[in-house]
């Protein structure tokens, strides 16, 4: 590889993270090529952003650093069929999540540097923070250091997407993968969703208006999370009433009790021993029937109908960032092609 200062980069995938990384790196002065399946749903978006997408194989062949930003379950096939046969000897292979390397779904060639750079935020935020001169905090890791400069390449990439504007923390593929999965399952997505739904159901079953229950259990959650984000639990206590503080301090453990903590430990154990990974890999391979059924149940929960009606009157929400469009393959739950973003 020529130099860690400005390696030629191939971005494979142009979803939420892929688009943000590609745009930030280009704006930071890097030579960026986007590798996408011709005719795929993200090719038009990449062209509109000023890129000239190549096929994934072509993009990989011309790169010194290849960033794999496609969905986790697509990556093993993409690596085996496209990346490994085309990536240059001694190049750097970069992931934004350690799932496939950590759980042995991808065994990178021994001549490659293999690193991880994971922004702690969604792609839209990674892009927005970069544009206003800030950056989303990131973690980075080195799995293989063939050149002796793998960490340098990771930090160079991290700086290019804006992550080094904050304190980039060195981690391992194991730690990033296991803590990321735990956070999603126990707190951020799984835990928060079920807590909101259970709270709403409790109030509605007790005879309170569904709309009022929505405001109390879902809508106002953002206000508290914003305080957490700005200054931790300390800031929350600074801005809520003494009544709210006393209730939180004396009743929070009714919900998050020893049983809840035991379930969290179970979640973590299933991540650590590979149970979750095996289940998810098998689910995906079998066509995602259970995944689709569980997701549909979430989408059809009564709180969603109430929220949709209330949010229609919150005109300011129309300016909020929108989720990236799903590909036709994802919408129909067919297995996506390896190059799909």
Helical segments of 161-220, H only: 173-182, 190-205, 210-214
pLDDT tops 50 at residue 52 = yes
For residue 324, which of 41, 135, 134, 69 has the smallest C-alpha distance? 41
pLDDT tops 80 at residue 237 = yes
How far is the CA of 265 from the CAs of 192, 279, 302, in angstroms?
A: 17, 18, 30
Do the beta carbons of residue 99 and residue 177 sit within 8 Å?
A: yes
pLDDT tops 90 at residue 13 = yes
Q: Is pLDDT larger for residue 325 or for residue 76? A: 76
pLDDT tops 60 at residue 327 = no
Q: For residue 335, name the pLDDT band (cuts at 50, 70, 90).
A: very low
Q: What is the pLDDT of residue 325?
A: 47
Do the beta carbons of residue 24 and residue 49 sit within 8 Å?
A: no
Q: For residue 280, name the pLDDT band (cuts at 50, 70, 90).
A: very high
- pLDDT by residue (tens digit) across 193-232? 999 999 999 999 999 999 999 999 999 999 999 999 999 9
Percentage of the chain lying above the pLDDT 70 cut: 92
The DSSP bridge partners found for residue 138 are 119
Q: What is the pLDDT of residue 316?
A: 85
Is 220 labelled as part of a ligand binding site? yes
Q: Which domains does the chain have, with CATH numbers?
A: 9-171 (3.40.50.720), 188-256+288-317 (no CATH)
Q: For residue 3, name the pLDDT band (cuts at 50, 70, 90).
A: very low
Is 184 labelled as part of a ligand binding site? yes
Is 27 labelled as part of a ligand binding site? no
Q: For residue 323, name the pLDDT band (cuts at 50, 70, 90).
A: low
- pLDDT by residue (tens digit) across 115-149? 999 999 999 999 999 999 999 999 999 999 999 99
Is 111 labelled as part of a ligand binding site? no
- pLDDT by residue (tens digit) across 15-32? 999 999 999 999 999 999
Q: What is the pLDDT of residue 319?
A: 62
Could you give the 3-state DSSP secondary structure of residue 123? helix
Do the beta carbons of residue 56 and residue 34 sit within 8 Å?
A: no
Q: Is pLDDT larger for residue 326 or for residue 267? A: 267
Q: Which positions ≥6 away from 193 have C-beta within 8 Å?
A: 298
Q: How many CB atoms lie within 10 A of CB 199?
A: 17
Could you give the 3-state DSSP secondary structure of residue 24? helix
Could you give the 3-state DSSP secondary structure of residue 91? coil
Q: Is pLDDT larger for residue 214 or for residue 320? A: 214
Mean pLDDT across the stretch 147-172? Answer: 93
As a whole number, the mean pLDDT across the chain is 92
Do the beta carbons of residue 69 and residue 104 sit within 8 Å?
A: no
Catalytic residue among 97, 143, 219, 237: 97
Is 205 labelled as part of a ligand binding site? no
Phi-psi region of 88 (alpha: psi -120 to 50; beta: other; left: phi over 0): beta
Do the beta carbons of residue 336 and residue 71 sit within 8 Å?
A: yes
Q: For residue 4, name the pLDDT band (cuts at 50, 70, 90).
A: low
User: pTM, whole model, 2 decimals?
Assistant: 0.90
Is 37 labelled as part of a ligand binding site? yes
pLDDT tops 70 at residue 322 = no
Is 5 labelled as part of a ligand binding site? no
Say whether 219 is catalytic.
no
Q: For residue 73, name the pLDDT band (cuts at 50, 70, 90).
A: very high
The residue behind tokens 């804006």 is 162
Q: For residue 41, name the pLDDT band (cuts at 50, 70, 90).
A: confident
Q: What is the pLDDT of residue 164?
A: 79
For residue 92, which of 106, 104, 108, 80 has the smallest C-alpha distance? 108
Is 180 labelled as part of a ligand binding site? yes
Mean pLDDT across the stretch 56-71? Answer: 97
């Amino acid at each position: 590889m020529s130099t860690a200062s400005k390696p030629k980069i191939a971005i494979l995938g142009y979803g939420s993270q892929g688009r943000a990384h590609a745009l930030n790196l280009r704006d930071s002065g890097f030579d960026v090529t986007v590798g996408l399946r011709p005719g795929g749903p993200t090719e038009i978006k990449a062209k509109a952003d000023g890129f000239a997408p190549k096929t994934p194989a072509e993009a990989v062949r011309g790169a010194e650093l290849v960033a794999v930003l496609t969905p986790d379950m697509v990556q093993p096939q993409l690596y085996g069929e496209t990346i490994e046969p085309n990536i240059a000897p001694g190049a750097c292979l970069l992931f934004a999540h350690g799932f496939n390397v950590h759980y042995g779904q991808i065994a990178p060639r021994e001549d490659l540097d293999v690193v991880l750079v994971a922004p702690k935020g969604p792609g839209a935020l990674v892009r927005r923070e970069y544009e206003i001169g800030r950056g989303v905090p990131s973690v980075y890791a080195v799995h293989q250091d063939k050149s002796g400069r793998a960490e340098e390449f990771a930090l160079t990439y991290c700086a290019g997407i804006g992550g080094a504007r904050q304190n980039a923390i060195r981690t391992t593929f194991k730690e990033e993968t296991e803590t990321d999965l735990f956070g999603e399952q126990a707190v951020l997505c799984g835990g928060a969703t079920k807590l909101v739904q259970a709270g709403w159901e409790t109030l509605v079953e007790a005879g309170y208006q569904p709309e009022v229950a929505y405001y109390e259990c879902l809508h106002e959650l953002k206000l508290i999370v914003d305080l957490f984000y700005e200054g931790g639990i300390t800031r929350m206590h600074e801005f809520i009433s003494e009544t709210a503080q006393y209730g939180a301090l004396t009743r929070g453990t009714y919900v998050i009790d020893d049983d809840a903590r035991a379930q969290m430990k179970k979640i973590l154990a299933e991540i650590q021993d590979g149970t979750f990974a095996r289940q998810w890999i098998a689910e995906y391979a079998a066509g995602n029937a259970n995944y689709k059924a569980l997701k549909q149940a979430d989408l059809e929960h009564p709180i969603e109908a109430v929220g949709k009606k209330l949010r229609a009157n919150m005109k300011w929400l129309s300016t909020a960032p929108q989720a990236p469009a799903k590909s036709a393959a994802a919408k129909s739950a067919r297995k996506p092609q390896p190059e799909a973003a």
